[in-house]
Chain A
């Protein structure tokens, strides 16, 4: 499968944060999101969307991220944080 471009990854991280799969980066500690967190978040999004949970930004995942949708997040922030923990 083609590897996602840097732009895809950025857009993917933004999308995952926006819809509750990734907690926003912590402004106080400046902690960045780790690859592991990102992979977990992608997997959560894939399971939620009915895709195969590969944990990578594959074509089907990028395609689903482009699908028109409701603005509200799919998971509440506490849920995402709990996933992070």
Chain B
């Protein structure tokens, strides 16, 4: 373990953003708001209080700097080292936090080249109040950038990180170790815009599906995150089911090597044996190492011992490291280690009690359950059972994709189309009765 470092003796700490990123699309107010919420992650659970000040003698002076900026930790342009902060102490730089101004700082962006400012700020402020790097893969204090951590308004520190900061400062009065800190609305929190401020560059694309009113072509857990694929786009959820961005990302920009004219995928799964990712489309499949397709693909799905005709759903079951492939009312079990189909397959899908036939896809999730998706609904199967849980199906968009106002027991997923709308800031001209544009905004 890494040794503990110094801590602040005082409880009220001042902060100030002294310089802002020069080439970022994030405005000053958004940067200040993100810093506010990143500090609040720590103050919510400890007796520390942070307040923004003007002037040059804030305890935590925040700067966006380039290359060598005279503190012994030169930045190196995009990538590489992205930020650092100084531990608590009496030195005038103690607590100061620097971000590399040459990074592409983003907020609620699915851009894979972006660096989520909120995620990095939470990490650096962990240093500024005394935490060192740790090797725990789940920790926010892991030294390597692990991508966005989701919505700043909903972000919840991993429990081990809470314990480590509680060892330094104790628990904030209003919080018991197990209670979830509440954000109460009547404090004047700074406003966080739903979409990046320069809307002109991120207008919804014409062929962009509405995540709250669609069924999905494929759903998969990949490297612990959930991916929902629809047409040429996909949404991504972090390990704790936070939507990385309301905006879908384009498949081809992330998964390199798929044919550019491919307009959708059928099924996807991550192989447990080597963590490569398999995409199915029609009678062909592609294998990806990380997000680059491997040489020699696509290949025919007959490699699996499957008949021509394509695949509806595929998932890798962690209970036996085998891959289950579904097509209409039949399913197969493929032994990845021996690279062959298990004997006795195909079998009838009805063996999976309560699960629909001709599903859209299936996903094994980190809670040990398997989820089956069809239309706008999903079914849950616990552990190694083969029976849907009571109370399912439920509405996919509401439970996974930050949509609201859905009635799970509506007559049928399709007909409940009118009952759902995307919750945050999305234009939806199709619903304007009196020819006015309709925009719903709930935050």
Contact = CB atoms under 8 A, between A and B. Distances in A.
A70 B3 CA distance: 18
B145 A67 contact: yes
A71 B72 CA distance: 10
B137 A19 contact: no
Nearest to B82: A68
B135 A71 contact: no
Given A49-B135, A49-B144, A74-B143, A69 B3 contact: no
A70 B75 contact: no
B21 to A, nearest CB: 15
Given A69-B82, A72-B127, A19 B143 contact: yes
Interface residues of B, number: 24
Nearest to A67: B144
Q: A interface, how many residues as a size bin?
A: 10 to 19
Nearest to B83: A70
A72 B145 contact: no
Given A49-B135, A50-B137, A79-B3, A71 B144 contact: no
B137 A68 contact: no
B214 interface: no
A69 to B, nearest CB: 5
Contacts of B377: none
Contacts of A75: 2
A69 B144 contact: yes
Given A67-B145, A79-B3, A72 B84 contact: yes
Given A48-B133, A71-B81, A72-B143, 20 more contacts: A19-B143, A48-B135, A68-B81, A68-B82, A68-B144, A68-B145, A69-B81, A69-B144, A70-B120, A70-B123, A70-B133, A70-B143, A71-B82, A72-B84, A72-B127, A72-B133, A75-B2, A76-B3, A76-B132, A79-B3
